[in-house]
Structure 1
Amino acid sequence: MADTFKFRIDHHGSLIRPPELLSLSPADDRRAVEDGRAVEDGRAVEDRRAVEDAAIAEAVRKQRKLSLTVVTDGEFRRRDIRSAVFDAVHGFRHADGERWVADGELKPHRSLVADDVAAVAAQTLIPAKATLPSPAYLAATTFEPGGAWRSARELGEALAQLINEEIRAVVARGVRLIQLDNHGYAPSLFAGPAGPLSLADAIAVDALAVTLADKPSDVRIGLCPLTRVLGDLDVAAAEQLFTGVPVDRWVLPYDTGAPAEEQLLRAVPGDRDVCLGIVSPLVAELEDVDTVMNRLDVAGAIRDLEDVAISPSAGFSETAGHSAIGVEDQWRKLTHVETFARMCWGNEL
């Protein structure tokens, strides 16, 4: 059987940024700051990091008070999940809006997340969690036909090597829970339009990133393929995904009661953990206790709850400055998850 290693009260990583972070210069200017050039408000990189450090320390303190079993930096240094790579790797060009293009050789000039998550780990005895974009997601969203890369698959394989090296760096710093995000799997799972990568290519790319021959036995690598179901699930595609990417944990939505959520759970191989998103970060109202517990009873009939973790179904602010609920609602939701965990497993968390 799988082993959760006690990472039972999980969350996706992103938290609502406090106003002092949102008042900083745009995250797109971070490279200029780190290269020593002044940005429009005149802050130096040291000043920016000091503000971020203080906000992260406060977020860690609040997570510790909630007795979560993992702690993150809230992704406070990022504009969105991809920024962990865009800010640290040369070879990407900001095109417009949210669109970035891979336009050259990929050359990391600093740690993607390893240094930052190690700093969080130093602040608490609760395990720190690292979050990264999956290489297949990055390739699908930055590949430009006729550009520097011959195919999205070729770009994805280069990114997979980069992400694999970062996972190794994170593990070397003592971090034991890592989550990759690739919400681009949703169309393949629900018969949506095809993207630059086929399902088979995306699986192959992400599998390269998470394969560590010498991975310590207590390290858990998870992947989140979607944060909400979109209709009728293609069960065969789900099984192809869940058996094709050798992660330890699948992070899945489980907060609406839709039949596809149960189908996703059933498709996960028995030797993998699953983290179920039981509360929504999109509505402030707390979920009904009986409804959630009934859904967890269904989950317990499908697989051993010893191999299940619970969390919100998505991050609270996957893009800086954008959230559906308020800060206090966010903490109430995380408290709600912790309450359900204790109802399931008692105090043996």
Structure 2
Amino acid sequence: MADTHKFRIDHHGSLVRPAELIAARQRRAAGEISADELRSAEDQAIAEAVRMQRKLSLSAVTDGEFRRSSLGSAVFDAMSGFRRADGGGWVAVDELKPHASLVADDAAAVAAQTVIPAKATLPSPAFLAAQCFDPAAGSPFGSARELGEALAFLVRDEIEAILARGVRYIQLDNHLYAAALNGGSFPGLSLADAIAIDSLAIPAAKPDDVRIGLCPAVRTPDSVAAAVASQLFASVPVDRWLLPYYNGAAAEVELLRAVPSSKDVCLGIVDPTVVELEDIDAIMDRMDVAFGIRDLEDIAVSPAAGFAPTADGPSIGIEEQKRKLIHVETIARMCWGNEL
């Protein structure tokens, strides 16, 4: 399916937090500043991140996930029914009730700052259910599948709220599919249950100019379970699959071949965890392979993962991050020229 809206130069959403924002978070945790003061620091950091993205030729802009401590915190911070587990993480212990927007308000705020389309990122409901179901914690849910279905309806409501705010590109993340794609089991759920849960989160009807993508893995699997890849990519009714494509492994090509022709593919052509820039000739060789499998109108490019999936966990600096994004833009221009 041709990406006629050309979300061609993409990234996964999270960006390296500036030192000032990290310091503000630490001061808030220590009780030295108020929640409003932290919010002001986040606003300033997000505005600068948006300006940085606008100076590039990205086709989607995010808030860097600067208000989050992790991918899942978009849900845990805005929804009652979860509590911290003794060993870390979160568990569902009560009825799930949103008391605030998960990401719709934040994505709309980004959209107001730029004419480049804003992008919203969310954890998938199966990703959350697999990690948050614990019957020993007094869960009101009878199974991880039941919890996942409850989360799916809430995530679908949030997707509809995002679309109502005028945001047209949404990415769901469920990196737990990586284990199944590599021939193992989906952690905490059956693969069929995970697919069913994530499928429930996708609205049955949406505007033609909307793209909903899903990232199932940010690292290349050692091998690909072909039947699993075919089942996953054909079953979840998203428009785009975001796949790793940065090290030239045969498994990357196998994943790409498994995506149905009715779906777009975004290829993660650079590694966001290392400073060194990938060799352009090597990337173009891999793109030539991709264009031999899929029409160029069905492909986008991006880094292979977010730059800082957790607030305190970036692997590279802000300037190195910018160079990586420029590298992705350079490759896009070599592939599509003035058609971007």
Output the TM-score relative to the length of structure 2: 0.97
Q: One-letter code of the match for 1:77? A: R
The alpha-carbon deviation at position 85 of structure 1 amounts to 0.1
What whole-Å deviation, never above 9, does each CA across 1:156-200 have from its counterpart, x for those lacking one? 000000000000000000000000000000111112244211100
Matched, 1:3 2:39: no
What whole-Å deviation, never above 9, does each CA across 1:104-143 have from its counterpart, x for those lacking one? 1000001000000100000000000000000000000111
Contact 2:185/2:191 (CA < 8 Å) preserved in 1?
no
Of the three residues 221, 238, 252, the one matched with 2:212 is: 221
Q: Distance in 2 between matches of 1:306 and 1:266?
A: 16
Q: Distance in 1 between matches of 2:114 and 2:88?
A: 34
Matched, 1:255 2:246: yes
The alpha-carbon deviation at position 321 of structure 1 amounts to 1.4
Q: Distance in 2 between matches of 1:93 and 1:162?
A: 18
Q: One-letter code of the match for 1:219? A: V
Counterpart for residue 22 of structure 1: 22
Counterpart for residue 186 of structure 1: 178
Judged with a 3 Å threshold, the aligned counterparts in structure 2 of structure 1 residues 194 and 250 are, in CA distance, closer, same or farther, namely closer
**Aligned runs of 1:11-160 on 2, under 5 Å?**
11-25=11-25, 40-96=30-86, 98-146=88-136, 147-148=138-139, 149-160=141-152
Q: One-letter code of the match for 1:100? A: W
Secondary structure at 1:16's aligned position in 2? coil
**Aligned runs of 1:309-348 on 2, under 5 Å?**
309-348=300-339
How well do the aligned residues superpose, as a CA RMSD in angstroms?
Answer: 1.4
The alpha-carbon deviation at position 288 of structure 1 amounts to 0.5
Judged with a 3 Å threshold, the aligned counterparts in structure 2 of structure 1 residues 97 and 10 are, in CA distance, closer, same or farther, namely farther
**Aligned runs of 1:302-313 on 2, under 5 Å?**
302-313=293-304
Contact 2:176/2:186 (CA < 8 Å) preserved in 1?
no
What whole-Å deviation, never above 9, does each CA across 1:255-290 have from its counterpart, x for those lacking one? 011111000000000010000000001111111111
Percent identity between the two aligned chains: 65
Contact 2:303/2:324 (CA < 8 Å) preserved in 1?
yes
Secondary structure at 1:126's aligned position in 2? coil
Contact 2:177/2:186 (CA < 8 Å) preserved in 1?
no
Q: Distance in 1 between matches of 2:86 and 2:275?
A: 32
What whole-Å deviation, never above 9, does each CA across 1:77-104 have from its counterpart, x for those lacking one? 0011101000000011012464111111
Q: One-letter code of the match for 1:45? A: A
Count of aligned pairs between the two proteins = 338
Contact 1:4/1:273 (CA < 8 Å) preserved in 2?
no
Contact 1:253/1:277 (CA < 8 Å) preserved in 2?
yes
Q: Distance in 2 between matches of 1:26 and 1:145?
A: 34
The alpha-carbon deviation at position 4 of structure 1 amounts to 4.5
Q: Distance in 2 between matches of 1:218 and 1:26?
A: 40
Q: Distance in 1 between matches of 2:180 and 2:151?
A: 21
The alpha-carbon deviation at position 44 of structure 1 amounts to 2.4
The gaps in structure 1 that reach 5 residues or longer are 30-38
The alpha-carbon deviation at position 322 of structure 1 amounts to 0.8
Contact 2:181/2:229 (CA < 8 Å) preserved in 1?
yes
Counterpart for residue 171 of structure 1: 163
The gaps in structure 2 that reach 5 residues or longer are none
Deviates more, 1:17-26 or 1:4-13: 17-26
Moved over 6 A (4+): none
Judged with a 3 Å threshold, the aligned counterparts in structure 2 of structure 1 residues 320 and 169 are, in CA distance, closer, same or farther, namely same
